Structure 1
Amino acid sequence: REIQAVVDDEKQVREAVLQTLREHFKPEFLNRIDDIVIFHQLSREQIVQIIDVQLARLRRMLEERNIALVLDDSARALLAREGYDPLYGARPLKRAIQTLIQNPLAVKLLRGEILPGQTVHVSADGDEMKFKADGAAVATAQ
């Protein structure tokens, strides 16, 4: 039943879009359109999956320095909230990761607050990310 409801809903949305297009464009123009793709709003689970994909690159860069990165659910929720826009989808997510995670991490690395061999735990406190580095630092050859 649920699948049929989704299919019926999809048909209704497609028909409404076509009707709106017919009201605004001439048939000559509409005949040039091969297909109409309807995008659905991303779910919370999909946003979290996109966050994981985006963070994989940052994790690889940190692993080259022997640093692990762990985000708790509150940090993921803040990224999802700041990095998702109903109109633009997950496009703002890269900027949110850069602003909320990458930039503060870079400052902490430059200050020597995070060292090779440590694990950085990230959590959210309101609208701010909190970073905690634990584990023994490993001496590296310069």
Structure 2
Amino acid sequence: FDEIEKAHPEVFNILLQILDNGRLTDSKGRTVNFKNTIVIMTSNVGSEFIRKMSRLGFSTSEKAETKDLKSKIMDSLRASFRPEFLNRIDEIVVFNPLSKQDIQKIVELQLKNIALRLQPRGIKLEVSASAKKILGEEGFDPNFGARPLKRLIQRLIIDPLSEKALEGKFKDGGRAVVSGNRGKIEVKA
């Protein structure tokens, strides 16, 4: 359940049933077994404290170990969710914002995924260091995580690759070259 704080109040009643009894019964009396199920929920409640600490220059490891931060986040959660709901949650994990280094690693992973998608046609993907740097810089937004990077890669690399493929510019066994020059990404067949 992503961004659980935005859920309708009835969703919380359903979740209480799942988390408390390990099963869910619908209006027709049918029961769904949720035993041995891991329920993962995300929330942005309290994320303003993480962003604030990040702007103040705390390192990731310091933020993760700060009891004050976790305490403030727990206070926010208590203010946002009913006690009976929070009481049924076994673990609350606080994630740190992504750093520029994290985004660069995600750039590498996304590019590997693109390369794997091109492999069946025998097309080799070559990406310059400058292109990777541009993607990492333009795709970095500490407030929104990796989503802007994913959209950027779609717009600057995947869409142009698709257009060139539709135009017949790629030959099986060929290569796709992605380069960066003066802050711009260029894709060549």
With the length of structure 2 as denominator, give the TM-score of the two structures. Answer: 0.55
Q: Distance in 2 between matches of 1:60 and 1:30?
A: 42
User: In the alignment, what sits opposite 1:102?
Assistant: 158
1:79–1:93 CA contact under 8 A, matched in 2: yes
2:64–2:94 CA contact under 8 A, matched in 1: no
Change (3 A) 1:39 1:56: same
**Are 2:135 and 1:113 aligned?**
no
> Post-superposition shift, 1:127?
4.9
> Post-superposition shift, 1:21?
3.8
Instruction: Tell me the number of residue pairs that the alignment of Structure 1 and Structure 2 aligns.
Output: 129
Q: 2:141 pairs with 85, 109, 123, which one?
A: 85
Q: 2:120 pairs with 64, 72, 86, which one?
A: 64
**Are 2:180 and 1:124 aligned?**
yes
% same residue = 41
Unpaired runs of 5+ in structure 1?
Answer: 134-142
1:84–1:91 CA contact under 8 A, matched in 2: no
> Post-superposition shift, 1:14?
0.7
User: In the alignment, what sits opposite 1:34?
Assistant: 90
Change (3 A) 1:52 1:7: closer
**Are 2:143 and 1:75 aligned?**
no
1:100–1:128 CA contact under 8 A, matched in 2: no
Q: Distance in 2 between matches of 1:51 and 1:114?
A: 23
Following TM superposition, the consecutive aligned residue runs of length 4 or more in structure 1 with deviations greater than 4 angstroms are 22-30
1:121–1:132 CA contact under 8 A, matched in 2: yes
Unpaired runs of 5+ in structure 2?
Answer: 1-60
- Aligned-partner residue type, residue 41 of structure 1: P
Deviations 1:59-112 (A, max 9, x none): 122222222111122211232234343223112333222211011112222334
Change (3 A) 1:8 1:116: closer
SS of the residue 2:187 aligns to: strand
1:84–1:92 CA contact under 8 A, matched in 2: yes
Q: Distance in 2 between matches of 1:43 and 1:92?
A: 14
User: In the alignment, what sits opposite 2:70?
Assistant: 14
2:103–2:136 CA contact under 8 A, matched in 1: yes
Q: Distance in 1 between matches of 2:142 and 2:99?
A: 11
Q: Which protein, 1 or 2, shows the higher relative CO under an 8 Å CA cutoff with sep ≥ 6?
A: 1
SS of the residue 1:78 aligns to: helix
Q: Distance in 2 between matches of 1:102 and 1:116?
A: 17
With the length of structure 1 as denominator, give the TM-score of the two structures. Answer: 0.69
